[in-house]
Amino acid sequence: MTLERIQDQMGYLILTEDGAVIASGGELENSEHVANIIMGLISLADSILPEEEGYKKISVTYRNFSYMICLSNKKIYVVKKHYSPPMLNGDGDRNTNVSGIPPPVVNT
């Protein structure tokens, strides 16, 4: 499967382990800036746990999209995908956050 065929993908990057862009497409076409940010995020993730633990996948979720970052065969794969938070009631109102915990009620 090519990255272009991933459902709801908005763009992708394939990077070498040192951050050079091998391939890109969609909204991430030739996005050196995003590649540099991803490499900084990976460096931070690697510093949290010992190297033998390592990360398997990093997800960064925003309101309407997310980045999925995976390491495989000495390449870093980044996919930007549309994201829709879970809806738990039938009327379309979001009544939970990403963690599934209802937001706090604020009385004024």
Each domain of the chain, given as residue ranges in start order, spans 7-82
Q: Smallest Cα–Cα separation from 12: which of 68, 74, 65?
A: 68
What pLDDT score does 47 carry?
83
DSSP-derived secondary structure for 89-104: STTS---S-TTSPPPP
Give pLDDT, residue 5: 77
- pLDDT at residue 101, rounded to an integer: 54
Flag whether the pTM goes above 0.85.
no
pLDDT, residue 40, reads: 94
Q: Which fold has domain 7-82?
A: Beta-Lactamase (3.30.450)
pLDDT score, position 51: 64
Phi and psi angles of residue 11, each rounded to the nearest 5 degrees, phi first:
180, 165
Q: What is the pLDDT of residue 84?
A: 81
pLDDT of residue 21: 96
Residues of the chain with pLDDT under 50: 1, 108
Nearest alpha carbon to residue 78 among 52, 50, 98, 58 = 58
Angle at 46 between CA 52 and CA 15, to 5 degrees: 105
